[in-house]
Amino acid sequence: MTTPPETDTVPTEKTTVPKGLTNEVGRRRTFAVISHPDAGKSTLTEALALHARMISEAGAIHGKSGRKSTVSDWMEMEKARGISVSSTALQFEYLDHTINLVDTPGHADFSEDTYRVLTAVDAAVMLIDAAKGLEPQTLKLFQVCRHRGIPVITVINKWDRPGRSPLELLDEIEQRIGLTPTPLYWPVGIAGDFRGLLDVTNDEYIRFTRTAGGATIAPEEHMSVEAALEREGDEWTTAVEESDLLIESGQRHDEEMFLAGQTSPVIFGSAMLNFGVHQILDALISFAPPPGPRPDVEGHPRAVTDPFSAVIFKVQAGMDTAHRDRLAFMRVVSGVFERGMVVTHAQTGKPFTTKYAQTVFGRERSTVENAYPGDVVGLVNATALAPGHTLYADKKVEFPPIPSFAPEHFSVLRAESASKYKQFRRAVDQMDSEGVVQILRNDVRGDASPVLAAVGPMQFEVVAARMKAEFGVEARMEPLGYALARRTDAESAPELGRQRGVEVFTRSDGVMLALVSDKWRLQYIEKELPDLTLEPLVAAAD
């Protein structure tokens, strides 16, 4: 991953900071790609890895019959459907920088998983389909970025296909989300006739050459303004006039405004053809912020030079079918991580040994010896860890928990065969610990019939598919007639349990939830029994 820190230390007022730590932090860029389903997110993720020369050929090949799965989509369900339903981490080097790219689920049903990823990154690339513009899922994820203060770089993808005009797309961004777009690279040629990019900063033309199926890096030719005009004629003139119009209206990149979340640098490209991908990486290392202080649970900033600390943002099993192990993804917040170091698990106060630490590239892994703030490290078989947990060395620190979203879909889960009950229980516990779904129980239904609560119904499909593939358990789902979930307490539970259209459960984290049939039933109970506790949960759009 990187070389170990030098043993010499530089004294500070608070503690001893390993020499070279500040330089290593400055080299890190940790970001996520967010988009609506089918905007090309996983294809872009792989194109970025291709340009960093981590892979020799992209997996996305034109034509349905020849299409391969991307390196970041490892689950069989993802390969079959061509969508991402889990988050994965990719780490690679680019121009003396260490890039930590966390790929997120594209489907809205997995917005909770995406939210967890966004707690672990310092910037985001917002991917927009050139033909469709801003879509509902993109808007929701942008609002999460805005709420968390995450600066956003905008990429208009699929410019090799027919689409809308560039000025119309930028106007939509400004009008609908209040973010001022500041183009860095402007397209030469209309959507569907992608010839190259006008480099707004350096005032030159970058012309791309297609490769077979877009499987390899597209060659670039850098041309002067005069040469560009001679070659492209009116298309070049139009590109210059449009970009000049935006600059004259004040839409020029300003780093301070970008980091404040007021503007967004814009790049046009085609992930499928590998056009504009190198420019995205350059923008990330030039403009995206390196890791910085992160507030702990009490609101105090944890400096990157403080002793080691990390937050768990994702737990995933089943990535390695040969070993069936469980991987906890941690984002290093401060200090230097050294494999084998004994740290403390903040939630239990117990020591935790980090002997099996790995860096992840899709489904592939390699042992990591050292990691720095911003790095994402996988801890193998970390059964005690769950999303939102904190690990630390030296004095105790704990970071804010990651909230669970309000579920909107509910099903009873049953094993088809009673002889598989032990495997069934292990599978349920596994899905619960990863946060794939929320597991609800009560005395009436018992452990043999837990209730699954999900943000979207596709989460149920993932549970069924993984139970069969990883545990050999055939399971069936029986939908429940509830539409809402509210937090309640032990004092309110007995009376709520007597109400028609209400059932009370306890979630695995100890939180009591009342499931209600519909909003009208909820309104009636709140009006007639105002003293009962019925608190809203975090909504997926928050």
Alpha helices in 160-224 (DSSP H): 166-177
| Digit-coded pLDDT (tens) for 229-251 | 999 999 999 999 999 999 999 99
pLDDT (tens digit, 9 = 90+) per residue, 27-66?
999 999 988 878 888 888 888 888 877 665 655 333 333 3
CA 258 to chain CA mean position, Å: 20
Pairing of strands 88-94, 204-208: unpaired
**Segment among 10-14, 208-212, 245-249, 489-493 with least mean pLDDT:** 10-14
Is residue 14 domain-resident?
Answer: no
Contact of 182 with 251, CB cutoff 8 Å: yes
- Count of structural domains within the chain: 3
Let me know if residue 18 belongs to a domain.
no
pLDDT of amino acid 463: 87
Distance, in Å, from the CA atom of 54 to the CA atom of 93, rounded to the nearest integer, reads 8
Residues whose CB is less than 8 angstroms from the CB of residue 432 and which lie 6 or more positions away in sequence, other chains included: 438, 439, 508
pLDDT exceeding 70 applies to what percent of the chain? 86
* 104 annotated ligand binder: yes
Tokens in use for 115? 């939210």
Q: Give the CATH number for residue 357.
A: 2.40.30.10
pLDDT tens-digit readout, 197-206: 999 999 999 9
- What is the percent of the chain where pLDDT is above 90? 57
138: phi > 0 → left, psi -120 to 50 → alpha, else beta; which? Answer: alpha
The residue-averaged pLDDT of 214-234 equals: 93
| 266 and 337 inside one domain | no
Phi, psi dihedral angles at 331 (to 5 degrees): -100, 120
3-state DSSP call for residue 542? coil
Among 287, 320, 337, the domain-final residue is 287
Q: Distance between CA 240 and CA 58 in Å, rounded?
A: 32
Are 110 and 136 contained in the same domain?
yes
- Among 287, 303, 338, which residue terminates a domain? 287
Residue 38 placed within a domain: yes
pLDDT category of residue 109 using cuts at 50, 70 and 90: low
**pLDDT at residue 72 greater than cutoff 50:** no
Question: What contacts 260, CB < 8 A, 6 or more positions away?
Answer: none
Asked whether residue 66 is marked as a ligand-binding residue, the answer is: no
346 sits in which H/E element? none
Phi, psi (rounded to 5 degrees) for 176: -90, -30
How many other CB atoms sit within 10 Å of the CB of residue 277? 25
Q: How far, rounded to the nearest angstrom, does the alpha carbon of residue 322 sit from its chain's CA centroid?
A: 26
Q: Are residues 249 and 309 both part of a single domain?
A: no
Annotated ligand binding at 278? The verdict is no
Residue whose C-alpha is closest to residue 18's, from 10, 28, 29, 27: 10
Domain span at residue 370 reads 294-392
The arithmetic mean of pLDDT across residues 154-178, rounded, is: 95
Q: Could you tell me if 208 and 76 lie in one domain? A: yes
Same domain, 250 and 105: yes
Q: Return the CATH number at 226.
A: 3.40.50.300
CA distance 541 to 290: 27
Task: Copy the structure tokens of residue 265.
Answer: 């640098």
Question: Whole-angstrom Cα distance, residue 232 to residue 255?
Answer: 32
Residues 372 and 424 in one domain: no
Phi/psi of residue 78, nearest 5 degrees: -70, -45
Examine the domain organization and report whether 314 and 363 are in the same domain: yes
- Separation of CA 527 from chain center: 40
Q: Is 5 inside any structural domain?
A: no
What's the Rg (C-alpha) of the chain? 25
Contacts of 217 (CB under 8 A, 6+ apart): 50, 51, 211, 274, 278
Rounded to whole angstroms, the Cα distance separating 285 from 96 reads 10
Q: Find tokens 């034509």 and name the residue.
A: 63
Tell me what pLDDT residue 466 has: 83
The pLDDT value recorded for residue 73 is 43
CA distance 316 to 347: 19
- 10 lies in some domain: no
Q: Please work out, in degrees rounded to the nearest 5, the angle formed at the alpha carbon of residue 170 by the alpha carbons of 30 and 204.
A: 75
d(CA 431, CA 422): 14
275 and 303 in a single domain? The answer is: no
Beta bridge partners of 28: 98
State how far the Cα of 24 lies from the Cα of 3, in Å rounded to an integer: 10
Between strands 484-488 and 512-516, the pairing is antiparallel
Tokens of 161: 């296909």
Please, are residues 298 and 315 in contact by the beta-carbon 8 Å criterion?
no
Higher pLDDT, 461 or 206: 206
pLDDT reading at 142 higher than 70: yes
Alpha-carbon gap, residue 515 to 180, rounded angstroms: 42
502 touches 514 (CB < 8 A):
yes
Say whether 107 counts as a known binding-site residue: yes
Domain boundary among 357, 392, 427: 392
Q: What is the CATH number of the domain that holds 454?
A: 3.30.70.3280
Select from 159, 148, 157, 154 the least CA-distant residue to 126: 154
SS3 398: coil
291, pLDDT greater than 90: yes
Task: Please give the structure tokens belonging to residue 186.
Answer: 């402007």
Q: What is the pLDDT of residues 422-432, one digit of tens each?
A: 999 988 888 88
The most confident of the ranges 86-90, 356-360, 504-508 is 504-508
Q: What is the rounded CA–CA span in Å between residue 361 and residue 315?
A: 16
Lowest pLDDT segment from 301-310, 333-342, 354-363: 354-363
Q: Which residues pair with 380 in a beta bridge?
A: 327
Q: Whats the size of the chain, residue-wise?
A: 542
Answer yes or no: do 298 and 283 share one domain. Answer: no
- Residue 105, annotated ligand binder? yes
Three-class SS of residue 46?
Answer: helix
| Dist. CA 123–CA 518, nearest whole Å | 38
Domain check: are 70 and 146 in the same one?
A: yes
Shared domain check, 46 and 153: yes
What tokens does 157 get? 């993808």
For residue 258, the SS3 value is helix
Does residue 59 lie within any of the structural domains?
A: yes
Residues 39 and 172 in one domain: yes
Pairing relationship of beta strands 309-317 and 301-302 according to DSSP bridges:
unpaired
CA distance readout (Å), 463 to 70, 202, 318, 436: 22, 50, 12, 7
Q: Specify the amino acid at residue 489.
A: D
Considering the domain boundaries, does residue 510 fall inside one? yes
